[in-house]
A and B are shown apart, each in its own frame.
Chain A
Amino acid sequence: EVQLVESGGGLVQPGGSLRLSCVVSGFTFNTYSMNWVRQAPGKGLEWVSYISSGSGTIYYADSVKGRFTVSRDNAKNSMYLQMNSLRDEDAAVYFCARDRGSTTFFDFWGQGALVIVSS
């Protein structure tokens, strides 16, 4: 069974930092690209970042470029999102999602990690 489990969410002050983790099981992690997708409270879905299977290709949404860094450790079946200089508008549930092609769809999602940005 494919499983993706996020952790690391929490309350952080504006300007602060947080690191999210996504641990996967049930599939060969090092053969799949992965993504982070977020959902602000009561709002729709927004793609955040993409990382290829070997970390050679990385993309970011303009809204987070220069502040967020995605990485992965294939030996640990894990992906990470380092979030710096957090803003009020970064508050959201962050989902990790498995990729089925860089222009296509996300076939499995984690349950999400809640990030609250507030002073």
Chain B
Amino acid sequence: QSVLTQPPSVSGAPGQRVTISCTGSSSNIGAGYDVHWYQQLPGTAPKLLIYANNNRPSGVPDRFSGSKSGTSASLAITGLQAEDEADYYCQSYDSSLRVRVFGGGTELTVL
């Protein structure tokens, strides 16, 4: 059971927009800690996709965006492409556990 809750899977057709939710609690996202997102392509290491809620590292397309509100955060992907098929993980810090925590991951399928 992950501290941050994500849907196990989402899907969309090429060109469409999809969102992935990440729900936490008052000891992590709700406490004001930033949310970060990682993309893990099949058989590869995670890659930082969004940091501090809505910032993209250099090289990440602006099709990817993040937002945060209350005890939740979301990752949005517009103009879906086949290469976006991957697992996506949210991550934050939990002040009760005093560790960085991850969501369980969401598998994105491009139909």
Contact = CB atoms under 8 A, between A and B. Distances in A.
Interface string A20-46: 000000000000000001000000111
Contact of A95 (B2, B45, B48, B102): B45
A111 B105 CA distance: 18
Interface residues of A, number: 19
B4 to A, nearest CB: 10
Given A45-B89, A103-B93, A95 B99 contact: no
B36 interface: yes
A46 B103 CA distance: 9
B91 interface: yes
Nearest to A6: B45
A61 interface: yes
A109 B99 CA distance: 18
Interface of A: 37, 44-47, 59, 61, 95, 100, 103-112
Interface of B: 2, 33-34, 36, 38, 44-48, 51-52, 57, 89, 91, 93, 98-105
